[in-house]
Amino acid sequence: MSKKKKDPLVADENIADEVETIEIETADISSDDDESLKEDETVEEAIIEFDPIKILEKDLQKAKDELAEEKDKFVRLQAETDNFKKRLSREKEEFSQYANERLFKELLPIFDNFERALEDTSNDTKSLKEGLEMILKQFSSFLEKEKVEQIKAIGEKFDPTVHEVLTSEESSEHEENIILSQFVKGYTINSRVLRPSQVVISKKPSEPKEDSKDESEEDSGKEENPAD
């Protein structure tokens, strides 16, 4: 009895069907595993979310990160501040040097005129006086240009912010604390006191003592009625 031969095409189709079935089953198993893993991760996240220790650790880490960020900002800000201070100090020093240079340049012509006045060999007093007056006028112009003004003193009410009292004198012609004279003139620069005026102020005359008055009357009586 002869055996029936299998058709190779039918065999291949059966094998392909079996492989496809296995792949589908494997895919289903893999899909189920993925869903299971996802569910496990979700449960774990939920546990972590409601775990006080985990919450504290998370907050602590967040605070550390924020602190590190703020520290970095502070360090950079401090460095910028230090650089700004150094630059400001350098600019201030340069400005001071430049300002002094300009002032000395303005003063040199006045110094030159003083030297010329001293080098004059003539004995003409009038010429010397005129030269000194010219120098004084030149120096006054320089002070005015630099906003240096003289403080008013004589006849003014004493002001401790611009005047300095050296002494006081009795005066019946003035109210108290009126400036009678000044030893040294005071000046301001840009409305700020450069040097106060040194002044003498008025005060009320002292009243005569009663004893002195009685003695004066007794002496007067003795002169009118001399003893025998």
pLDDT, position 166: 94
pLDDT at residue 156 is higher than 90: yes
- The band of 43, judged by pLDDT with boundaries at 50, 70 and 90, is low
Mean pLDDT for the chain overall = 78
Q: For the domain 148-206, what is the CATH code?
A: 2.30.22.10
**Cα gap 33→10, rounded to integer Å:** 35
Note the pLDDT of residue 57: 80
Q: How far, CA to CA in Å, does 197 sit from each of 94, 139, 167, 186?
A: 33, 19, 13, 4
Q: Which residue has the higher pLDDT, 168 or 97?
A: 168
Q: What mean pLDDT is predicted for residues 177-205? A: 93
Rg of the chain over CA atoms, in angstroms? 53
Identify whether the C-beta of residue 213 lies closer than 8 Å to the C-beta of residue 177. Answer: no
CATH code reported for the domain at 27-146: 3.90.20
| Cα–Cα distances in angstroms (integers) from residue 121 to residues 12, 28, 118, 194, 208, in the given order | 140, 126, 8, 37, 59
Taking only the tens place, the pLDDT of each residue in 168-185 is 999 888 899 999 999 999
Show the CA angle centred on residue 184, arms to residues 183 and 189, nearest 5°.
155
Range with the poorest average pLDDT among 92-101, 108-117, 124-133, 205-214: 205-214
- Give the per-residue pLDDT at 1: 46
C-alpha–C-alpha distance, residues 18 and 12, integer Å: 10
Token readout for 226 is 């001399």
Confidence of residue 138 (pLDDT cuts 50, 70, 90): very high
pLDDT of residue 36: 62
The CA angle 63-69-74, to the nearest 5 degrees, is 120
Location of each CATH 2.30.22.10 domain in the chain: 148-206
Is pTM beyond 0.75? Reply is no
Of residues 162 and 51, the one with the higher pLDDT is 162
Summarised one tens digit per residue, pLDDT across range 14-26 is 555 655 565 555 5
Using the CB atoms, write b or e for 115-143: b if 16+ within 10 Å: eebeeeeeeeeeeeeebeeebeeebeeee
The predicted pLDDT at position 29 comes to 52
How buried is residue 186: exposed, middle or buried, by Cβ count under 10 Å (0-12/13-18/19+)?
buried
Are 191 and 162 contacting, i.e. CB atoms less than 8 angstroms apart? Answer: no
Q: Is the pLDDT of residue 32 over 50?
A: yes
pLDDT of residue 195: 95
DSSP string spanning 120-164? -----HHHHHHHHHHHHHHHHHHHHHTTEEEPP-TTSBP-TTTEE
CATH 3.90.20 residue ranges in the chain?
Answer: 27-146
